[in-house]
């Protein structure tokens, strides 16, 4: 029954009308990961933008190779990590209201601060309002669980879509080429971009595998 419900949620998300949810939430966490990593490592971060097509940008100023590697890698890994945490929380029902309230507040704040596109604002506002309502409503554990599983699946679709990007050298060619996250890491390490892409994909797989192990351990303990 639960599997059928999750499949139904997945089918609804794949509807073209809802693709904007996948793109906007993925881009928001991706660019947010860059921003937070820059602050945590002492680099300068400014000018965060999110676009409805799933693109985005954060201007990061640093000449330190380690800072460049950490800030560049944080984008894709943040999306995978949040998705895996939501999956764990939704299945185990641990900390559901905290995660829903947090993502709701972040969506509202980012809607006000960085969303210049009306469609991006609408997506963030709707997701933020719904998750805040579900997170703070009394009871409703099943609904909270489904909401988190939905968000986990949405972000998982974003992770899948980002796999080719892990091997791309540039994100755009107009008006001028912009190096991808993998290109920045490869240049800092002096490595082949293919190896960097393999490492990023491997880390994302490891994140999901770790979440699955924790879920399995929880289910075994509570069987």
Sorted by where each begins, the domain ranges of the chain are: 16-48+58-221
Whole-number mean pLDDT of the chain? 86
Residue 217 reports pLDDT greater than 70 = yes
Residue 4 reports pLDDT greater than 50 = no
**Of the ranges 17-26, 44-53, 115-124, 194-203, the best mean pLDDT one:** 194-203
| CA angle at 9 for the pair 6 and 12, rounded to the nearest 5° | 155
Using CB atoms within 10 A of its CB, is residue 8 exposed (0-12), middle (13-18) or buried (19+)? Answer: exposed
Nearest CA to 91 among 213, 204, 205?
213
Question: In this predicted structure, what is the pLDDT of residue 78?
Answer: 96
Averaged over 189-218, what is the pLDDT? Answer: 95
Nearest CA to 1 among 211, 139, 142, 140?
142
Question: In this predicted structure, what is the pLDDT of residue 10?
Answer: 52
Where is average pLDDT lowest: 63-77, 132-146, 171-185, 198-212?
A: 171-185
Averaged over 43-58, what is the pLDDT? Answer: 83
- The tens digit of pLDDT for each residue in 15-40 reads 544 578 888 899 999 999 999 998 89
Question: In this predicted structure, what is the pLDDT of residue 175?
Answer: 64
- C-beta atoms surrounding 146 within 10 Å: 17
Where is average pLDDT lowest: 62-66, 93-97, 129-133?
A: 62-66
Question: In this predicted structure, what is the pLDDT of residue 174?
Answer: 57
Supply the pTM of this predicted model: 0.89
Question: In this predicted structure, what is the pLDDT of residue 92?
Answer: 94
CA distances from 10 to 105, 129, 211, 218 (A): 24, 21, 19, 24
- The tens digit of pLDDT for each residue in 142-201 reads 889 988 998 998 899 899 989 999 999 887 655 677 889 999 999 999 989 999 999 999
Residue 62 reports pLDDT greater than 80 = no
């Amino acid at each position: 029954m639960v599997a059928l419900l999750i499949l139904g949620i997945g089918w609804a998300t794949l509807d073209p009308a809802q693709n904007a949810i996948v793109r906007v939430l993925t881009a928001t966490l991706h660019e947010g990961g860059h921003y937070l990593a820059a602050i945590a490592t002492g680099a300068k971060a400014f000018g965060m933008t999110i676009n409805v097509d799933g693109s985005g940008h954060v201007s990061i100023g640093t000449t330190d190779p380690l800072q460049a590697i950490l800030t560049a890698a944080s984008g894709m890994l943040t999306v995978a990590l949040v998705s895996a945490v939501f999956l764990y929380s939704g299945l185990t029902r641990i900390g559901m209201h905290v995660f829903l309230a947090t993502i709701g507040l972040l969506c509202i704040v980012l809607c006000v601060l960085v969303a210049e596109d009306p469609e991006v604002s609408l997506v963030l506002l709707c997701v933020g309002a719904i998750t805040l309502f579900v997170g703070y409503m009394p009871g409703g554990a099943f609904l909270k669980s489904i909401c988190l599983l939905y968000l986990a699946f949405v972000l998982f679709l974003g992770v899948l879509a980002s796999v080719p990007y892990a091997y791309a050298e540039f994100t755009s060619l107009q008006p001028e080429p912009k190096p991808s996250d993998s290109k920045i890491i490869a240049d800092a390490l002096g490595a082949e971009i293919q190896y960097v892409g393999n490492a990023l994909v491997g880390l994302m797989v490891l994140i999901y595998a770790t979440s699955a192990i924790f879920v399995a351990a929880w289910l075994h303990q509570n069987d």
